[in-house]
Structure 1
Amino acid sequence: MGDSFQYIASNRVRFHQELHLRPRRISHYRFLYVESGSGEYRIAEESFQVTAGWLGLLAPGVRENRYFSRESVSYLFVEFQAAARLTEERAVPFPGQEPQRSALIGLLKTIQAEQADAGGCLLAAAVRLMFPEGDQGTQRRLDDRLRKVVRLIEAAPDQNHRISALAETAGLSEPHLRRLFREQMGESPKQFLRRTRMEFARRLMQHEGLRVGEVAHLLGFASVFQFSAQYRQVLGHPPSEDRGTG
């Protein structure tokens, strides 16, 4: 699912004067979290106000934005490409009462701090939090029990979850869980689990500076050889290409 997203850029911007960026065509999505201040965005002739605490998704299009000088402004953004259209709306706000709001902000801050999202795994999780009914751009509804399992795996990628335990958590038999994964995710639960864990391992090496042996130990592998074999099988190259083996 992470393959559907391509990270472009992220940053935190702070300033104390009015800012007006003239209309320009933007081909990517932007997650925006306004920490302080207020402003106005215009996308394809449709305008909307943003104030402190605004959290949402800006769609591609001819975009113009202005921030007002009445108070200092601070905002966090994460920009990315999506393989399929996520929404028909120009801007999709994420209401303050949503229970997933803090998790979404946490994901955006993590991406911003790392200045990357190799494989788009964190972006996929962020989009899922905003559009829980969608299947990463296909707009198919995920079964609630399957979504519970997916979120559990993505919330703890360092854990090598047993498929039987995941099925029990979802209240399903193992065959039923495997069938749901095949039908709605296009892969088996084992494949999804391995890919999520290996993408997490790659982020640890590329952005946290961990060595191959340290990541193998963190993810619970019995040996570096075992970890490297699975890494190559899932991502198509050895972990040494993403980080020195030390």
Structure 2
Amino acid sequence: MGDSLRYIASNQVRFHQELHLRPRRINHYRFLFVESGCGEFQISGEEFAVQSSWLGLLSPGLRENRYSKRKPVSYLFVEFQSSERLTDQRAVEFREQEPQRSALIGLLKTIHVQRGDPDGCLLAAAVRLMFPEAEITDSPPLDERLQIIKRLIEAAPDQNYRISELAEAAGLSEPHLRRLFRTQLGMSPKQFLRRARMEFAQRLMQHEGLRVGEAAHLLGFASVFQFSAQYRQVMGHPPSDDRGTG
């Protein structure tokens, strides 16, 4: 999580029916390659259309998608987070006359086939293809004391540690711990812990078949409502998007 670029998800999607994805808050970037079909996007109030061979980058924001039933749709996407703002535009198109276009498509397909890009190297290369002037630098090595905390949380993500417990495990005062998190990770210890726990809950629902209520209980939440509110705040969408409500 200390990398400037962090892989979120990727997939190949095909369907033959009209589809309307209602507005939802998206907190990450999306590379999108439309192989066939057509559709309309609205990101934070700005509308634009995509059609066969459209290739580009969608920025975070309140996103709404509509796809037409007139043409079967097939597209490839790769989603990721960036510690730096990549563009002020809602959508950046990579036009067919761009000489690096085929290389970018190849990178996106490689990321999808490999089911990820843990070091962010392929994502950094993809961003450089779209924005040659961008400086995507690797973050400095994670402080050893933060590595201790990271391993502690990853070993028991169902535990809701107090910040004082994390500080004690790392041999730091709480103020020093907070400064270190802000400097190296750009977030507070509480934000880091919440994201780790919500990502753990997401994996349980997506891959282990847990219902929302079961995930909430496992993570020690007093109610499904409380869990759902925190999940939406951290992940940008309700837990029911990742699994049917329990």
TM-score (norm 1): 0.54
AA matched with 2:103: A
* Alpha-carbon distance in 2 for matches of 1:57, 1:136: 16
The aligned residue for residue 113 of structure 1 is 113
AA matched with 2:5: F
* Alpha-carbon distance in 2 for matches of 1:79, 1:70: 27
The aligned residue for residue 206 of structure 1 is none
The aligned residue for residue 38 of structure 2 is 38
TM-align CA RMSD: 1.5
State the secondary structure of the residue aligned to 2:3.
Answer: helix
* Alpha-carbon distance in 2 for matches of 1:93, 1:86: 13
The aligned residue for residue 20 of structure 2 is 20
Is residue 2:69 matched to residue 1:100? no
Aligned sequence identity (%): 71
The CA deviation at 1:3 is 2.6
State the secondary structure of the residue aligned to 1:105.
Answer: helix
The aligned residue for residue 29 of structure 1 is 29
* Alpha-carbon distance in 2 for matches of 1:62, 1:90: 10
The aligned residue for residue 228 of structure 1 is none
Is residue 2:56 matched to residue 1:56? yes
* Alpha-carbon distance in 1 for matches of 2:69, 2:75: 14
AA matched with 2:22: R
* Alpha-carbon distance in 1 for matches of 2:115, 2:68: 27
AA matched with 1:58: L
State the secondary structure of the residue aligned to 1:118.
Answer: coil
AA matched with 2:129: L
* Alpha-carbon distance in 2 for matches of 1:67, 1:125: 30
Unaligned runs of 5+ in 2: 138-246
Unaligned runs of 5+ in 1: 138-246
Is residue 2:81 matched to residue 1:81? yes
* Alpha-carbon distance in 1 for matches of 2:86, 2:115: 23
The aligned residue for residue 231 of structure 2 is none
State the secondary structure of the residue aligned to 1:123.
Answer: helix
State the secondary structure of the residue aligned to 1:109.
Answer: helix
The aligned residue for residue 10 of structure 2 is 10
Tell me the number of residue pairs that the alignment of Structure 1 and Structure 2 aligns.
Answer: 137
The CA deviation at 1:35 is 0.2
State the secondary structure of the residue aligned to 2:124.
Answer: helix
The CA deviation at 1:118 is 1.1
Could you list the runs of 4 or more consecutive aligned residues of structure 1 that deviate by over 4 angstroms after TM superposition?
none
Q: Deviations over 1:37-94 (max 9, x none)?
A: 0000000100000000000000000000011000111000000000110000000000
Report matched runs for 1:1-246 at 5 Å: 3-136=3-136
Q: Deviations over 1:149-198 (max 9, x none)?
A: xxxxxxxxxxxxxxxxxxxxxxxxxxxxxxxxxxxxxxxxxxxxxxxxxx
* Alpha-carbon distance in 1 for matches of 2:67, 2:113: 24
AA matched with 2:130: M
* Alpha-carbon distance in 2 for matches of 1:57, 1:39: 15
